Structure 1
C-alpha cells in the first residue's frame, strides 16, 4: 500500500541522508500553489516571490513542530497567510506613504501584463478586493477563488467558522457596493 505524498515527503525530511531531497519535493509539490495564494493577496510578483521563499524557510525551520493534524498544504497555507498578513500590515504602517498612495500603487499593478485576470469584470473585482481589509481579502480569496470549505479555512487561519462566515459576508457586501459604484 502506497503512502500519501505528504507522508513520503515527511519521511524523507526526517532522515538525515534524504532531508534535502524531501525539502526539494516539498517545494516542487507546493511552491506554485503557495505563490498563487500570496500573489492574489499582494499582487506584486517580487513581493509574492519573497513571501513564498519566507514561507518555505519558516516551514523548514519549524518542520519538527508540524503535528500532522492537517495536511502539509494546510500547514504551509497557514504560514503563507500569516507571513502575507504581517507583510501587508507592515507595509500599511510605513510612515513614508499613506494608505491611499499604497492603494493606488497596488491598483497600478493591475494594469501591467502578467496579472492572472484580464477581462473587465475580473479587473473590477481585483480593484474591489484591494479595497477590503487584508483579512477579509484573504477570506474571500480562500472561499471564492480557492473554493475551500469554511472548515478548511478555519484550520488555515485558526479562526472560527462563524467569524469566517461573517468576514466573507462582509467582503461580499463591500465588493457588491464597490461594483455598483464603479
Structure 2
C-alpha cells in the first residue's frame, strides 16, 4: 500500500517531464505514451533494485531512454530508402502535431537537429531541451562528461553556422 502511494507520487512528479524527454526521441504522441507506460511499469517493478548510485530522476530518465531505444529498434524494421526519408518522416509528424507551435526559426532548428548524428542529437536534446546536467546525461548514456561536453559544443557550433543560412 505504501509502495503504491509512493509510486503514485512519483508518477505525478515525473510523468510530464519524462513524456517530453521520450517524445523528443520517438517523435509521435502515440509512441511516447506507449514508451512512458512501459517506463513506469519498469520503474514500478524495479524500484526495489534502485541502488542510489545516481539521483532517482536520473535513473528514471535512463529507463525512459532505454525504453525509447527499444521502440526505435523495433520500428527500425520498417523499410525506409535512406536516413533522409526517416528524418523527413519525423519532421512531418512534428510539424503537423497540434502541440507544435514553432515559428520558422524553430522549424529550422528541428531540421538541423534531425540531420545530426544520433549521439549528437540525443546529447543536445537532453542538455538543451531537458536541461539535464552533463553529469546526469553521463549517467543516463554511460558516456564520459568530457566527451558529452565536446559533443554538445560541437553541435552548438553546427547549429550556429546553419541556423541563419
- Please tell me the TM-score bracket, short chain as reference: 0.7 to 0.9
Q: 1:49 aligns with which of 33, 40, 43?
A: 33
State how far apart, in whole Å, the 2-side matches of 1:108 and 1:68 are.
40
Q: Residues 73-96 of structure 1: CA distance to partner in whole angstroms, max 9, x if unpaired? A: 1110111112223333443x3252
C-alpha deviation, 1:48, in angstroms = 0.9
Which gives a bigger RCO, structure 1 or 2 (Cα 8 Å, sep 6+)? 2
C-alpha deviation, 1:147, in angstroms = 2.5
What is the alpha-carbon root mean square deviation over aligned residues? 2.0
With structure 1 as the length reference, what TM-score do the two structures score?
0.79
Change (3 A) 1:90 1:129: farther
With structure 2 as the length reference, what TM-score do the two structures score?
0.86
Question: Which runs of structure 2 are paired with 1:48-87 in the superposition (5 Å)?
Answer: 48-87=32-71
C-alpha deviation, 1:23, in angstroms = 1.8
Is the contact between residue 41 and residue 137 of structure 1 (CA under 8 Å) also seen in structure 2?
no
SS at match of 1:164: helix
Which one has a bigger Cα radius of gyration?
A: 1
Q: 1:97 aligns with which of 54, 57, 80?
A: 80
Q: Unmatched 5+ residue regions in structure 1?
A: 1-16
Change (3 A) 1:115 1:132: farther
Q: Which moved more, 1:45-54 or 1:117-126?
A: 117-126
Change (3 A) 1:124 1:115: farther
C-alpha deviation, 1:71, in angstroms = 2.2
State how far apart, in whole Å, the 2-side matches of 1:39 and 1:18 are.
30
Is the contact between residue 105 and residue 163 of structure 2 (CA under 8 Å) also seen in structure 1?
no
Is the contact between residue 132 and residue 174 of structure 1 (CA under 8 Å) also seen in structure 2?
no
Q: Unmatched 5+ residue regions in structure 2?
A: none
